[in-house]
C-alpha cells in the first residue's frame, strides 16, 4: 500500500503563509489525497482533498504535483488557531486501504 | 457537517472487564470506522464497516470487536480489557462509495488499570 511521508514538525509566524509538504511516491491512480488536522484534545478535522488538480476551499489550498508523487497543503495566513497536527493520507473509494494515519506534522505558529 | 458522538468520553476500568464504547452518527453514513491513538503511533485503524451487518478488521483488531445492527451506530467492544488498550479511541464516518471526507467524533479516553 502506498504510504505518505511528512516532516515531524514545522514552525510558522502568525499571519504568514505555511506550506506543509507530503510525499507519496507510490501513489496509485485511484488514490485521493486527503488532509486532516487535529487540534489539541480534539478529534481530527477534515481540511481538504484532491485527486489531480489543485483545490481551494475556505480553510486551505492543496497543490498536487503533476506526477502526483507529492502534495502541499497551503495555509495562506497562519493564525494561532492553526497550531495542530496535520495529517496527509491517501484514500481509495470503497476501500479501507491506506486509512491508517501516520504521525503527521506538528505545526507551531509563533505570535 | 456530520455530527458524530461518542460515549463515554472518559472511562476507567479494570483489567479483564468488558467495555463497550458507543459511536452514533446522525447522517446515515454507510461507512464507519474505529481508530485508536497513542503517543508515537498516530491513528491506527481497529475495525470498520461499510454498512449494516458488515464489519471488517483493521490494522490493530486483536482484542476488539464491533457490530453493525443499524446505520447510525457502531459500538466497539473490548471483551477483556488489557492495560495495553489504554488509549484514546476515535470513531469516524463517511459517505458510501466516495473518497469523501471522514468525520470524527471527539474521542473516548479509556484507562485500563
Give the strand order in the sheet containing A105-110.
A9-13, A105-110, A84-91, A32-38, A45-50
Instruction: Judge whether A92 is closer than 8 Å to chain B, CB to CB.
Output: yes
- Residue A33 near residue A49, CB atoms below 8 Å: yes
The answer to whether A99 contacts chain B (CB < 8 Å) is yes
Q: What is the largest CA-CA distance in chain A?
A: 42
Q: pLDDT tens across A84-94, in order?
A: 999 999 887 66
What pLDDT digit, counting tens, does each position of A27-76 carry?
Answer: 888 888 999 999 988 999 999 999 999 999 988 999 999 999 999 999 99
A8 touches chain B (CB under 8 A): no
Is there a contact between A32 and B99 if contact means CB atoms under 8 Å apart?
yes
Q: For residue B54, what is its C-alpha cell?
A: 458488515
Per-residue confidence at A2, pLDDT binned at 50, 70, 90?
low
Q: Do B41 and A94 touch (CB under 8 A)?
A: no
pLDDT in tens, B45-95: 999 998 999 999 988 999 999 999 999 999 999 999 999 999 999 999 988
B66 closest CA partner among B16, B4, B3, B23? B23
* Least Cα separation, residue B100 to chain A (angstroms): 8
- Burial (Cβ within 10 Å: 0-12, 13-18, ≥19) of residue A66: exposed
Amino acid at each position: 500500500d502506498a504510504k505518505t511521508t511528512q516532516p515531524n514538525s514545522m514552525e510558522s509566524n502568525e499571519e504568514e503563509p505555511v506550506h506543509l509538504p507530503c510525499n507519496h511516491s507510490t501513489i496509485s491512480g485511484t488514490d485521493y489525497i486527503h488532509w486532516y488536522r487535529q487540534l489539541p484534545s480534539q478529534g481530527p478535522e477534515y481540511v481538504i482533498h484532491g485527486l489531480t488538480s489543485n483545490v481551494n476551499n475556505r480553510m486551505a489550498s492543496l497543490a498536487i504535483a503533476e506526477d502526483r508523487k507529492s502534495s502541499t497543503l497551503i495555509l495562506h495566513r497562519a493564525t494561532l488557531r492553526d497550531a495542530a497536527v496535520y495529517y496527509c493520507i491517501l484514500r481509495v473509494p470503497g476501500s479501507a486501504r491506506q486509512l491508517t494515519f501516520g504521525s503527521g506534522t506538528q505545526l507551531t505558529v509563533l505570535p | 457537517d456530520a455530527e458524530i458522538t461518542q460515549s463515554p468520553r472518559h472511562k476507567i476500568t479494570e483489567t479483564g472487564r468488558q467495555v463497550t464504547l458507543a459511536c452514533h452518527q446522525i447522517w446515515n453514513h454507510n461507512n464507519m470506522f474505529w481508530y485508536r491513538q497513542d503517543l508515537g503511533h498516530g491513528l491506527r485503524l481497529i475495525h470498520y464497516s461499510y454498512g449494516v451487518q458488515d464489519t471488517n478488521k483493521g490494522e490493530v483488531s486483536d482484542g476488539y470487536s464491533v457490530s453493525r445492527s443499524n446505520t447510525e451506530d457502531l459500538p466497539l467492544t473490548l471483551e477483556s480489557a488489557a492495560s495495553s488498550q489504554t488509549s484514546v479511541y476515535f470513531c469516524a464516518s463517511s459517505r458510501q462509495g466516495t473518497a469523501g471526507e471522514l468525520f470524527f467524533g471527539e474521542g473516548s479516553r479509556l484507562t485500563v488499570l
